[in-house]
Amino acid sequence: MTDDAGVGLPQAWLDDVNTLAPQADPDLVAAAGDDLVARWSEPHRRYHTLQHLAEMFAAFERLARPAGLSARESAVIRIGAWLHDAVYDVQAPPGDTERASAALARETLSSLGFRDADVAEVEALVLMTIDHGDTAATPAGDVFHDADLWILAASAERFDAYCGQVRQEYAHVPDDAYRRARSLILGDLVDRGQVYRTPTAQEAWTDLARANVRREIHRLS
């Protein structure tokens, strides 16, 4: 397993699987990790890469302790992060890649001997990312939700780079159609009652997220 986008990511996979399924065959665990790294490294990806995964892990570190998550709960959401964009096809109908990722999560984790409850939780976390709605509304689900949307509250430089990366992923979409669709998606994320679910993220990230998104929507208009 290689670790090109963040120190410790592959080892974190091994450690978290060992926490949740200590009886798993080490060779199967390593092979599943290699498969996930390969998926996150596919050439058509620009934002949904190992960089995004590493950024989610960093956000987890900031949010997990204030949310009171146990070591086991933290391991579950990190495994969920690995699986949530494991299948990524921008030309598929909306929701299809998330559902395919959830199916892959069930298949992969069941084959490694994860508990049924852990498999179901990871599957729910992945499906929540279809619309970032109010499903999976548990402390762990809230942390997962906020970490996935951390990028909205990144520095202006990183946020602008993220916007460019997403546009590259959708290079096949004409400019006018992209501007309309992207403005609607971003506006929906920040115009609802709360951008983030955890008190920590609400306090630290909401204003930054709204400022970044307003700037991007203005740029797209």
pLDDT at site 5: 54
Dihedral of CA atoms 173, 189, 13, 107 in degrees, nearest 10, equals -70
Measured from the Cβ of residue 44, the count of other Cβ atoms closer than 10 Å reads 12
pLDDT at site 2: 38
Residue recorded with tokens 């729910």: 124
- Residues with Cβ < 8 Å from 75, sequence gap 6 or more? 15, 16, 19, 20
Taking the chain (221 residues) in runs of 10, the rounded mean pLDDT of each run is 60 97 98 96 96 97 96 97 97 96 98 97 96 81 96 98 98 97 91 89 96 96 91
User: Read out DSSP for 34-91?
Assistant: HHHHHHHT-TT-SSTTHHHHHHHHHHHHHHHTTTT--HHHHHHHHHHHHHHTSS--TT
Residue recorded with tokens 């949307």: 149
pLDDT at site 7: 61
Residue 171 CA to residue 218 CA, distance in Å, equals 20
The structure tokens listed for 61 are 């570190």
Residue 88 CA to residue 40 CA, distance in Å, equals 9
Map out the domains of the chain with their CATH numbers: 7-148 (1.10.3210), 152-221 (no CATH)
Residue 87 CA to residue 127 CA, distance in Å, equals 12
